[in-house]
């Protein structure tokens, strides 16, 4: 890509962030704008240019940082106090619904039988990276709501990533894939043990160098990310899982006194630089022309949104009756958990590259996921605004933690 095109691309990314920040009434998340920007500038739009190897490298780092942030933000306390059982149960209830949705699409002739596991996995995900910032922006939340979001979003992201790593392996190599995954898990557990043993010394070093010119904590985070992704690549495991494990290890090896400072630095490098490049480069590969050429197919976007809400939202609403007696809070939780994009994007792109999903329907799935980011959190915020504030809790509310 010529230098002037690179400069224009980064200016456009900055303008996207400016639009989202200065025009909040538009309620357009920057990730959606960045994907749309990539589609407009890419070969299927104005044919701005194909991303070169350098931009692809930055895009891969952006994907890694996106899931590094997700792993780093996983709260172990929420999972250890009964949250793991609750989140896993609701996710398991989503499996037959996801299979039913994929089967319906097969009957209607939209996808092939080979796409059944890919589409099922795509609609059973939750975008923790999209949901987490919402919790920071919402000031008043019902009791236990934050913990419930983290639990269900965490399960909806971690388990599908593991399944994606297994699904990527060929059927003839499924046994080797499982062995590789087991080996990767054992290595990750061993690294957690080492981190726990040396946590005190490591944290003293990180605190001492946090504000130094070398920025050792950030180099440690990036080195851990690259090492775990490289190890995943050597074992034929999806890089997304490696990035998520790196985030968990980073969270596990740091104390609370430096967690917030390190999180701010990771957010700055990730959300401020690398992650937008990932979304833009991904948008460059999308072709909306076949969809726009047949306006009748646009009806699939709201239909797929409702199916995603059915798969992820309904089980969560049913399973949290005891924790959130207010039906509006439960509906808001279901909408938040049904918000999808990054992981669905990864699943659909991989499925399209392997030839099991046509680009036209892959684009519809991604467009529907983008629409969930636009619509579901806004509806959830409107419902939460009508719930009782946390300083006036309902006596029947049971805290998750």
In sequence order, what are the residues at sequence separation of 6 or more whose Cβ sits closer than 8 angstroms to the Cβ of residue 384? 138, 140, 141, 142, 145, 328, 329, 332
Whole-angstrom distance, CA of residue 393 vs CA of residue 401: 15
**Smallest Cα–Cα separation from 93: which of 309, 307, 314?**
314
Sign, CA dihedral 121-122-124-129, equals: positive
Tell me what pLDDT residue 123 has: 92
Whole-angstrom distance, CA of residue 355 vs CA of residue 228: 28
3-384 maps to CATH 1.20.1530.20:
yes
Tell me what pLDDT residue 397 has: 38
**Smallest Cα–Cα separation from 69: which of 206, 229, 264?**
264
Q: How many residues does the chain have?
A: 401
**Smallest Cα–Cα separation from 327: which of 267, 275, 394?**
394
Whole-angstrom distance, CA of residue 81 vs CA of residue 89: 14
Q: How many CB atoms lie within 10 A of CB 218?
A: 17
This prediction's pTM: 0.77
Q: What does each of the 401 residues of the chain score in pLDDT, given as a tens digit?
A: 667 677 777 888 888 888 877 776 666 777 778 888 888 887 777 776 666 777 888 888 888 898 888 888 777 666 666 667 888 899 999 999 999 999 999 999 888 898 999 999 999 988 776 776 666 667 677 878 888 888 888 888 888 888 887 777 655 466 677 788 888 889 988 998 888 888 888 888 888 888 888 888 899 999 999 999 999 888 878 788 888 889 889 988 888 778 888 888 888 888 888 888 888 888 887 777 777 777 788 889 999 999 999 999 999 999 998 888 889 999 999 999 998 887 888 888 888 888 888 888 888 998 898 888 888 888 888 888 887 555 444 433 334 43
Q: Which helix H or strand E contains 343, and what residues bound it?
A: helix 342-353
Tell me what pLDDT residue 395 has: 38
Q: Is 314 helix (H, G, I), strand (E, B) or coil?
A: helix
Whole-angstrom distance, CA of residue 124 vs CA of residue 159: 10
Whole-angstrom distance, CA of residue 221 vs CA of residue 258: 13
Contact criterion met (CB below 8 Å) for 398 and 322: yes
Whole-angstrom distance, CA of residue 242 vs CA of residue 225: 7
- E strand map for 20-167: none
Q: Is 369 helix (H, G, I), strand (E, B) or coil?
A: helix
Q: Is 399 helix (H, G, I), strand (E, B) or coil?
A: coil
Whole-angstrom distance, CA of residue 28 vs CA of residue 30: 6
Whole-angstrom distance, CA of residue 319 vs CA of residue 400: 12
């Amino acid at each position: 890509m010529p230098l002037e095109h690179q400069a224009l691309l980064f200016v456009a990314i900055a303008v996207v962030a400016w639009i989202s920040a200065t025009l909040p009434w538009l309620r357009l998340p920057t990730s959606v704008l960045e994907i749309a920007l990539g589609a407009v500038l890419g070969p299927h739009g104005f044919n701005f240019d194909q991303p070169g190897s350098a931009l692809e490298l930055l895009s891969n780092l952006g994907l890694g940082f996106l899931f590094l942030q997700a792993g780093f933000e996983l709260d172990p306390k929420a999972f250890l106090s009964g949250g793991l059982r609750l989140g896993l149960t609701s996710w398991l209830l989503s499996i037959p619904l996801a299979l039913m949705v994929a089967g319906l699409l097969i009957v209607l002739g939209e996808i092939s039988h080979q796409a059944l596991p890919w589409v099922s996995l795509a609609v059973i995900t939750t975008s923790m990276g999209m949901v987490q910032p919402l919790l920071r922006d919402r000031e008043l939340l019902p009791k236990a709501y934050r913990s419930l979001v983290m639990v269900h979003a965490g399960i909806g992201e971690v388990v599908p990533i593991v399944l994606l790593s297994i699904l990527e392996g060929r059927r003839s190599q499924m046994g080797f894939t499982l062995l590789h995954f087991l080996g990767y898990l054992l290595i990750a557990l061993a690294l957690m043990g080492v981190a726990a043993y040396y946590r005190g010394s490591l944290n003293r070093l990180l605190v001492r160098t946090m504000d130094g010119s070398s920025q050792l904590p950030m180099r440690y985070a990036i080195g851990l990310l690259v090492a775990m992704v490289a190890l995943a690549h050597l074992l034929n495991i999806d890089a997304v899982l490696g990035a998520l494990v790196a985030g968990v290890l980073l969270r596990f090896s740091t104390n609370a006194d430096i967690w917030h400072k390190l999180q701010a630095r990771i957010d700055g490098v990730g959300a401020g630089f690398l992650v937008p490049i990932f979304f833009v480069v991904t948008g460059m590969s999308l072709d909306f022309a076949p969809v726009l050429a047949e306006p009748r197919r646009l009806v699939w976007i709201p239909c797929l949104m409702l199916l995603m809400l059915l798969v992820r939202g309904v089980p969560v609403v049913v399973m949290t009756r005891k924790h959130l007696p207010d039906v509006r809070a439960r509906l808001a939780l279901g909408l938040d958990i049904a918000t999808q994009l990054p992981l669905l994007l990864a699943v659909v792109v991989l499925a399209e590259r392997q030839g099991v999903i046509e680009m036209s329907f892959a684009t519809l799935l991604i467009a529907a996921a983008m629409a969930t980011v636009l619509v579901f959190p806004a509806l959830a915020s409107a419902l939460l605004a009508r719930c009782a504030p946390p300083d006036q809790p309902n006596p029947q509310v049971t805290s998750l933690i």
